[in-house]
Structure 1
Amino acid sequence: MPKIIDHDERRREIVAVARGIILKGGFEAATMRSIAAEAGFANGALKHYFPGKESIVAATFETILAEMAEGVRDVGETADSAYDALRVFLQATIPRTREQIAAGRVLLALWEYAVSNESLADLYRWHLSAWHAQLIEHMEAARDDGAIREQDYAAHANEFISAAVGATVINLMYPDGERIADYEDYIEQFLARLR
């Protein structure tokens, strides 16, 4: 009986390999040849799953954005209050582990690629809009509980997202987490201003 191949699983494996190669050597290191070799495929076999490097890069970017969105989607559901849920949400969006910091390197390479790829740029803009909306929802819930005051939540969301993206980049220079405490302090200062 012929072996049944799970093509979706194979695509996920290829994306994981591409992500690992980008993490170690940057975007330029992720060639079709290097991805095929690392994944254990013959040189042309990747084309059965992805037509070219661009489609692998797009799938890698989509996967990382989906993981980021999933990582914050249900955050704070078990929090004692809307204010605590807001704090947990803020903490979840700043890289705080070695793995999250390392993922920033992949994200940085993919951001550069997205600048010249309109569909990936649209995908990232959608991700930023969803993140912005979730953050405003958390702030409004904390306001409704009386924990923070009424103010321009959109402006605060823009500020925090800029700081979180900056933290992703800066933490790349401190892969052992030396700057995490600085961002923890920033979150507390941000929350204090909201109160």
Structure 2
Amino acid sequence: MREGDNVPKIVDHDQRRSEIVEAFLAVVARDGLSAATSRAIAAELGIGTGALWHYFDGFDEVAAGAYMRITERTNDRIAAATAGLRGLDAFYAMIREILPLTKETRDEAFVVVAFWGRLAANSKIDQSRADVGDNWGGQIAGRLAEAIEDGVLTATIPIPEVVEVVLMICIGQQVSAVMADPMVDAGRRLAMIDHCLSPWRP
């Protein structure tokens, strides 16, 4: 027997979980959410379907992992888009990375909304959810405060309440992208955000 024969191959557990999540997102981007079955994900990776469940307890965990990956991607895009910007310029650059305005963000909306549906039926996966509300809300509040300093918003704007409305619009538009025509005019989505700020523009 040669040295190394019959030695089990060591697989990095976290790396394989990450690969499964990426395969799930790749199938969604190419073929749509309905096509992202366990069989399709396994085929994307060139492994047997049963091998998926050595790394995840079920599809709910895969969906939670995809949700967290999308959150990470969105945060990276926001950081890149807002670099060197402040105030309303940074605010709108951030919002454009959250709203479903492109194919990428519309694909993400399908995954995110599907995760919310699974979360409603399985509260155990809530612990895997990244808390984006506090993170994004804090960033938006900071940009609105800068806009006051820049003189493009009045100091009377109730920042906490406006932040909440803006986040709810973003959530609602993700649901709209899934439930209605995903090609709805991007300008209308942004116009809703404009409307929230219009009372406090000098």
Q: TM-score, structure 1 length as denominator?
A: 0.80
Matched, 1:52 2:63: no
Within the candidate set 30, 37, 41, 1:35 is matched to: 41
1:133-176, CA deviations, whole angstroms, 9 ceiling, x for partnerless residues?
1111111121122221122111101111111111112123222x
1:59-115, CA deviations, whole angstroms, 9 ceiling, x for partnerless residues?
122112222232223432233x52322222233221111221122111111110122
Report the count of equivalent residues. Answer: 191
Q: TM-score, structure 2 length as denominator?
A: 0.77
Percent identity of equivalent pairs: 24
Instruction: Quote the residue 1:174 is aligned against.
Output: 181
> Structure 2: 5+ residue runs without aligned partners?
none
Matched, 1:11 2:17: yes
**1:30-179 equivalent positions in 2, closer than 5 A:** 30-31=37-38, 33-79=39-85, 81-118=86-123, 120-122=125-127, 124=129, 126-150=131-155, 151-172=157-178, 173-175=180-182, 177-179=183-185
Contact 2:21-2:62 within 8 A present in 1 as well = yes
Contact 1:65-1:124 within 8 A present in 2 as well = no
SS at match of 1:185: helix
SS at match of 1:96: coil
RMSD (Å) for aligned C-alpha atoms: 2.9
The structure having more radius of gyration, on CA atoms, is 2
